[in-house]
Amino acid sequence: MATAPRFWRENPSRYNLVGIKCNSCGRHFFPPRSICPVCHRKSVGKIERVKLKGEGKIFSWTEVQEGPEELSSNRPYIYAMVEMEDGLRFTGQVIDCEPADLQIGTPVRAVLRKLSEEGPSGVIHYGYKFVLRKEKSP
C-alpha cells in the first residue's frame, strides 16, 4: 500500500516552507505556531499562515567533518546560519558548493531535499537545505 511518508503528512509546513505572520507585531516565524512568541495572548486570532520565499543570505557557516550517521554519505558538509527575508534565521546544510564559494552575505535559497532514509522500511525524511542563488556577474 502506497502512502505518503509520515513526515510529509504530519509536517506539511516543512514541505511547503510555510511560516506564520503575526498581525499584531508584524513578525514572521518558522515553523508555524498558533501563538506569537513575542505577543503571546495579544496575537490570538491574528496569526496568518504565509508561504515563505525561502531566500536569504549567509550569516555564518562552518565546515562539518564529522556528521551524524545518517549524513555520512555526504560528509564533510557545510552547515550555515542564514538570515532570511523578514528577519527569520534558519540553519541548515548548504549543498552543491565549496567553502571557498561562501562569504558573509552570499545569497542562498532553501530547497526541499531528502535528509535521510531509515533502513529497509524506506521512511524518508525531507527538509530544507540551501543552494547558492546564482547572480549574474557584473
**Residue numbers at the binding site for Zn ion (CB under 5 A):** 22, 24-25, 36, 38-39, 43
Give min distance, CB of 44 to Zn ion, in A. Answer: 11
CA 124 to chain CA mean position, Å: 17
Give min distance, CB of 86 to Zn ion, in A. Answer: 13
Report the distance separating Cα 19 and Cα 110, nearest Å: 13
Tell me how crowded residue 42 is: count the other CB atoms within 10 A of its CB: 13
Report the distance separating Cα 28 and Cα 21, nearest Å: 4
Q: Which is nearer to Zn ion, 36 or 82 (CB)?
A: 36
Q: Which is nearer to Zn ion, 31 or 99 (CB)?
A: 31
Give min distance, CB of 88 to Zn ion, in A. Answer: 14
Q: Grid coordinates in use for 35?
A: 501563538
Q: Which is nearer to Zn ion, 21 or 129 (CB)?
A: 21
